Amino acid sequence: MIISVLFIAFEPAMAQNTPPKFSVNGAARSIFFLDDLQQDLAEPDTITGPKQNSAHAMVDVGINVRPADNLEVQGMVRIRNDFGGFWGAGVTFDVRQLYVKGVVKDIVRYQLGDINYQLTPYTFYNNDQELYATAPVLFSHLSDAVNYDNFYNIGNSWRQQGAAVDFGLNFKSIVESVDFNLFTSRVLPSNASTVSDRLFSTFNMQVVQSKNVTLGFNYANLYDLAGTSRNDILLNNPVITGTANVNYNIGSITLRGELETGTSSTTYIEATDAPEWSDGFFDGRIHVTYDPVNVTLTAGFKSVGPEFRSPGAQTKRINFGALPAAFDRITNDQVLRPLTMLDIVRETSLFNLQLQNGLMAYDPRYDNITPYGAATPNRQGFHVGLGYVIPGDWMELGATMHALTEVRGQGTTNLRSFNRIEAEAVIHAGEKFFANERLLDISFNSRSDATSRAAEIDGIPVVDLSTQVLGVGIEAEIISQLDIVVGFQSHTYSGFEFSNVTDNFGQIINFRELEVDGSQQMLGAGLRFRFSDKAYLTGQWSSFSTVDTLNEILPDYDINTISMIFSMYF
């Protein structure tokens, strides 16, 4: 067997055109919010101000330098001005990005500094935040700004600071190529006393046997580096998985199979009261596409053990222990206002930037079935899906059903059951019905979740929690590049559930009762002018309302908002 070196392109564009030696890139944004709080109170609130406004302007300026064909340096600085500061008092300067990357001898590609990286949904993957998939465009403009600020990318990668090396080999027979990827980042710096350096390292190997078969091996480990502090307790949490992807055509039918399976282990060295966990998972699915009418049927089975721990895949974006910035305390009693749909959509400070060991807290009202994405532990069962793209691509339809149970009961031998039904539709009516292809897009998204568990003889209450999410959006171009944008999103929840109380090592030590009955709604409309595909200006009005029939301390309230957003990428 003859082995030849696989050339890894420095950039996709290099194969076609020589990139410039020097270029400028980045983004600019200006956002203004005027919020008006209205509370349903028997006695007027004389403490909380009913109106708040917040605004900022910022620009990210990146300088990209290529001193040689195989070397690139990128630096980006953020200049931000929070409105209300005078003579530069509200201006801040931050380094947003800094990296060096290149290719050694046309063989090995490397990158040092800030790196966007992801592997598989069970090893290293940045799952979308709650409610993001169902948000109409009117509100996703806000979510997109939040995601940009927190380095959340379309590819579900995490922004890390470290080093990455990629290289590959081509073969003459048996297999086509083997690619290798290595990555290490520092998650937590040592304080030289009680906290050790915490690193996250991955290794990935992809074997391309042919255009029909690809096999993979993945290793990811979050671990403390011995000797970097006086603390002898060291975390070690390796995850090992294998993947397989198979494609096969039978006439007009395309078959595609996906499989990932693996194990994890979690230990705290020198901690006598810490658990030693080891568990595994299996996730397989098959896609069948009938090409003449572009219909795809998907079916799969998964089982994720209750003690499977993968920090790179289970870390959440939202920190549910944080407080909202707008109207954090309301009523004369200055009651803390919990996170709502409105806050999740628009507040950057609620989001997490770094990998976390253990399982972060979540709110069952927003997602009680997959709060940690595909790698959510203690889940097993089936899912089926159907997707249809109407010829001409002017309508896309999809539906998915999940039927899951716990692998092991929590506090009882009875198992929870989890059921989810999702449906979505996107209609590009402008392309279908208007000769000038004027923009007219209509989107619909819905999700219905149900969690249930039978009661025990000893009096443990029945678990019965249901949630429904609905999102509807319209984008209509009234004159060239000027659009009317309308959005509606609804979230309702009711029932009873238990939430886990854990210790510092993630062991369940108690359960907390959770009974909910409420709803949240957001309705809005606005005008948007698209300067180009990368720049727009929008002004919009929106109204958020929430009702909670079981909360006797927090009143029902509305927040009406007038906002202006300018966004540009260059």
Tokens at 331, concatenated: 């009523």
Q: Residue 520: is it exposed, middle or buried by C-beta count within 10 angstroms (0-12/13-18/19+)?
A: buried
Three-state DSSP state, 464? strand
Best CA proximity match to 148, nearest among 78, 91, 253, 89: 78
Query: DSSP letter at 318?
Result: B
Question: Could you give the CA distance from residue 510 to residue 107 in angstroms, rounded to a whole number?
Answer: 54
Place of tokens 């005008």: 527
Question: Could you give the CA distance from residue 183 to residue 202 in angstroms, rounded to a whole number?
Answer: 5
Best CA proximity match to 310, nearest among 160, 127, 180: 127
Q: Residue 68: is it exposed, middle or buried by C-beta count within 10 angstroms (0-12/13-18/19+)?
A: exposed
pTM of the model: 0.92
Domain 3-569 fold = Maltoporin; Chain A (2.40.170)
355-393 in b/e form (b: 16+ CB < 10 A) is: bebbbbebbbbbbbbbbbbbbbbbbbbebebebbbeeee
Q: One digit per residue, pLDDT tens: the chain, 570 residues?
A: 333 333 333 333 334 457 789 999 999 999 999 999 999 998 999 999 999 999 999 999 999 999 998 999 999 999 999 887 666 677 889 999 999 999 998 899 999 999 999 999 999 999 999 999 999 999 999 999 999 999 998 789 999 999 999 999 999 889 999 999 999 999 999 998 899 999 999 999 999 999 999 999 999 999 999 999 999 999 999 999 999 999 999 999 999 999 999 999 999 999 988 889 999 999 999 999 999 989 999 999 999 999 999 999 999 999 999 999 899 999 999 999 999 999 999 999 999 999 999 999 999 999 999 999 999 999 999 999 999 999 888 899 999 999 999 999 998 889 999 999 999 999 998 877 776 678 999 999 999 999 999 987 677 889 999 999 999 999 999 999 999 999 999 999 999 999 999 888 888 889 999 999 999 999 999 999 999 999 999 999 999 999 999 988 999 999 999 999 999 999
Residue 152 makes CB contacts below 8 A (sequence gap 6+) with 126, 146, 317, 351
Question: Could you give the CA distance from residue 333 to residue 330 in angstroms, rounded to a whole number?
Answer: 7
Terminus-to-terminus CA distance in the chain, angstroms?
48
Tokens at 47, concatenated: 């403490």
Q: With left for phi above 0 and alpha for psi between -120 and 50, is residue 192 left, alpha or beta?
A: left
Tokens at 223, concatenated: 């671990």
Residue 5 makes CB contacts below 8 A (sequence gap 6+) with 106, 107, 169, 170
Strand intervals (E) in 429-481: 440-453, 463-479
